[in-house]
Amino acid sequence: MKVCAYVMTYDTGLAPNPFHGLCTLAVCSPNHLNANLGNGDYIVGVAGAEIRSRLNTPNEWRLIYAMQIDKRITLDEYYRSSVYKSKIPKRSGPREVMCGDNFYKLSGEELVHTGESTDHDWREAIEKDCKGNRVFIGKGFLYFGKDAEPFPETDWATKLKNQLTYKPRGVSYIFGGRGRHLWTIDDLKSFKLFFSCHASPIPKNNPVDFDNWKSESGEESCSKCT
């Protein structure tokens, strides 16, 4: 088992997308970094300095979301499946519909942007998304968004903070990988207990940047995405 953690710079509802009863991660990190994760593994997204500043808690580490992976599929499988049609974005409507992350499909042998979203519709983003070509899907997740939880006073949270302070860019395999501040089995058990107590198929609140979504160009909002 692995637990992959990373620092988020934006939280718009695109990556992750916590709507329609599933948490999905189809674009941006950890996908761009070819995260080697599968069924049963966890992904943890932590508020970076920019998000913490917008939450008016610049010095307090906060948890945006965590998900347990049930399935990992390709971008084309994601788009073609009837199960995930609700994740295909629409150009108008509620924000949770417009920020869908399901907008790549195969055309011949090449993955292409479907044009159903203005997100990630420039060359660099498309190349990174398609190179990663993986969608992580979780039925079990916790998503705090604007109600981002302060880190609990536990060993796993302290080690997570220390590891992400040491390595704020990219992804860290806080359990099941290499790093300076790794979890023990007991830390993992404690995290799982926290996860099970907070997991819900309904986001606790909207994404931090939901109200400002599309207030700047997509290239600006994703400029720090690894």
Give the pLDDT score at 203: 97
Partners of 3 in the β-ladder: 42, 175
Give the pLDDT score at 215: 46
Whether residue 78 has pLDDT greater than 80:
yes
Question: Residue 54 CB: number of other CB atoms within 10 A?
Answer: 16
> pLDDT category, 223, cuts 50, 70, 90?
very low
Mean predicted confidence (pLDDT) in 103-123: 91
Whole-angstrom distance, CA of residue 139 vs CA of residue 11: 20
Using DSSP, state whether 167 is helix, strand or coil. Answer: coil
Tens of pLDDT, residue by residue over 24-74, are 999 987 877 778 999 999 999 999 999 999 999 999 999 999 999 999 999
**Helix intervals (H) in 93-217:** 95-98, 123-132, 155-166, 185-198
Whether residue 221 has pLDDT greater than 80:
no
Contact 58, 51 (CB under 8 A): no
Give the pLDDT score at 217: 45
Whole-angstrom distance, CA of residue 224 vs CA of residue 209: 15
From residue 158, alpha-carbon distances to 144, 172, 175, 187 in Å are: 19, 14, 14, 10
Tens of pLDDT, residue by residue over 117-152, are 888 887 888 888 888 899 999 999 999 999 999 999
* Best CA proximity match to 68, nearest among 191, 203, 208: 191
Give the pLDDT score at 219: 54
> pLDDT category, 222, cuts 50, 70, 90?
low
Tens of pLDDT, residue by residue over 195-216, are 999 999 999 999 999 987 654 4
From the number of C-beta atoms within 10 Å of its C-beta (0-12, 13-18, 19+), residue 129 rates as buried
Whole-angstrom distance, CA of residue 170 vs CA of residue 24: 19
The pTM of the full predicted model, rounded to 2 decimals, is 0.92
